[in-house]
Each structure stands twice: as C-alpha cells, then as structure tokens.
Amino acid sequence: MNSPSSSPPESDGRPLAAEGSAAVSVYTVEETARLLRIGRSAAYEAVRRGEIPALRLGRRLRVPRRALQELLDGSSSGGSTGADR
C-alpha cells in the first residue's frame, strides 16, 4: 500500500495521477483535497455544494478523474454528477 505523500502532485496541465498509479479513474475526496491543495472539510463542502463533481457509490463519495481534470481545465459545465445533498 502506498502512504500519502507530504507534498501533493502538481497540477501544471499534465493529467492528474494518484501516487503510484497511472490508471486511476476516481479519487477519494481526501485525495482530491490534496490535489487541489485545500482542506478535507473544504473539499467535502465543495462536493456538497456541487462545485466538485462527485459520485456516491453506496456510502462513499468518489470524484471522477476526468471530471476533476475538466474542472481544472475550465471546460466543465459545473454541477454535481450524483452526490446527494
């Protein structure tokens, strides 16, 4: 298992990838927070408001990699992709 890194991956136009995995298709809200360099609570609040698109899988929230990349690129239409409010 990979342990969390003390410094998040850079978001400099390259596709986002979680540490140790080049084929990640979803992120946890905590991973998303690290990538965006925001706090965990702020990330959950942004998901709740629909600012960060997320999918609810059972009791878990997952942020699709592609949706996060589109959000960062500014090409997303915004809105939630399935998170319960």
Question: 20 pLDDT band (50/70/90 cuts)?
Answer: low
Q: How far apart are CA 39 and CA 36, in angstroms?
A: 9
Residue burial 15-39, b: 16+ Cβ < 10 Å; e: rest: ebebeeeeeeebbbbebbbbbbeee
What's the predicted TM-score (pTM) here? 0.61
Residue 31 has pLDDT above 60, yes or no: yes
